[in-house]
Amino acid sequence: MSAFPELVEVSDNHPAQPGASPPGAVPAGESPAAPPERTQPPPKVVALRRPGRWISAAVVLLFFAAGARSVITNREFQWPVVRQYFTTSAVLHGLLFTLWLTAVTMVAGFAIGTLLAVLRLSGNPVLSSLSWGYVWIFRSTPLLVQLLFWFNIGALYPRLSIGIPFGPSLFTADTVNLIGPTAAAVIGLALHEAAYAAEIVRGGVLSVDAGQAEAATALGLGRARILRRIVIPQAMRSIIPAAGNLLIGTLKGTSIVSVLAVQDLLYSVQLIYNRNYLIIPLLLVATIWYVVVTSLLTVGQYYVERHFARGAARTLPPTPLHRLRVALRTVVARSRGAVLGGGTR
């Protein structure tokens, strides 16, 4: 079995290592890099025992189990009702609308926000101040007020027209026809989102070392190309976690549009419990859906972050899936080894 027949003679000072091939067994002089021969095996390492950890974990688990038991057994939660309504078409439609509204808000918000961030960083004092003013206004007024404002914009401007400032107008329409509850919700959420997105993008851009843009400038790259190819991809590393946070906040935040009687997830279950008074189970239905979608988004965020971490660290950490696979393989190998080796460990 051994590739070194002389191994047994040389290593007779290693008592408990049959079959292993200690590196010290290479005949001296043949390989200058070989570690020195040892007469004693190295001492075993024993980790510090931490009984406190086990006890505190057990106590916490106990409380958790008690809590979970009460949630499951308390009849007032009416779990059968939750199950019954969980996938009814009204709820699913509400969910779909919530997802759509979140996506539109996020995309429009980041499009406007990126523009605002670029203006803010442009070095043009007028554009920069305008961008600052936008963020200031939209962050310092409650979202609910903004939504109600857009919903009632018709009172302020009964007719809207598109045209040249101080010049002729090309298109005119009644505001009420143009901006219904859904449009008010989309506009309100997107403009509000844009203020936060602008700050997130700006923070990301500022986090990139100025030497990067400088090196790209020295190579003769233009401003737009530098932003798109050099700065933004690196800024993504700090943009993504903040944007993920904002996205999850937006998903739940869209429930605020129920005040405009727009049929999102929350308003859909409200409509149902206004009829049958099963308030708690129906709120649970909405809650669970929010948790499910948020969880999916969190997983997605992990992989997007990983994508933009390219080159940031010397090696990327393994994904949880990969780690799981390795762990399983180790367990399998170990159990197999135990069967074959007949308890050598």
> Where on the chain is the footprint of other proteins (CB under 8 A)?
209, 211-212, 214-223, 225, 229-230, 233-234, 308, 310-314
The separation between the first and the last C-alpha atoms of the chain, rounded to the nearest angstrom, is 20
| One-letter amino acid for residue 121 of the chain | L
What's the min distance (Å) between Cβ of 318 and other proteins?
17
What's the min distance (Å) between Cβ of 237 and other proteins?
9
The number of C-alpha atoms within 13 Å of 125 and in the hemisphere containing its C-beta is 0
Separation CA 4–CA 156 (nearest Å): 93
Separation CA 286–CA 273 (nearest Å): 12
Residue (140 or 315) nearer to other proteins, CB? 315
Residue (226 or 286) nearer to other proteins, CB? 226
- Of 118, 313, 309, which is closest to residue 226 (Cα–Cα)? 118
Separation CA 111–CA 272 (nearest Å): 36
Residue (101 or 231) nearer to other proteins, CB? 231
Go through 260-291 and write b for each residue having 16 or more CB atoms within 10 A of its CB, e for each that does not. Answer: bebbbbbbbbbebbeeeebeebbebbbeebbe
What's the min distance (Å) between Cβ of 305 and other proteins?
13
What's the min distance (Å) between Cβ of 204 and other proteins?
13
Q: Which residues contact 335 (CB under 8 A, 6 or more apart)?
A: none
What's the min distance (Å) between Cβ of 222 and other proteins?
6
| One-letter amino acid for residue 245 of the chain | N
What's the min distance (Å) between Cβ of 306 and other proteins?
13
Residue (17 or 124) nearer to other proteins, CB? 124
Residue (168 or 311) nearer to other proteins, CB? 311
Residue (83 or 228) nearer to other proteins, CB? 228
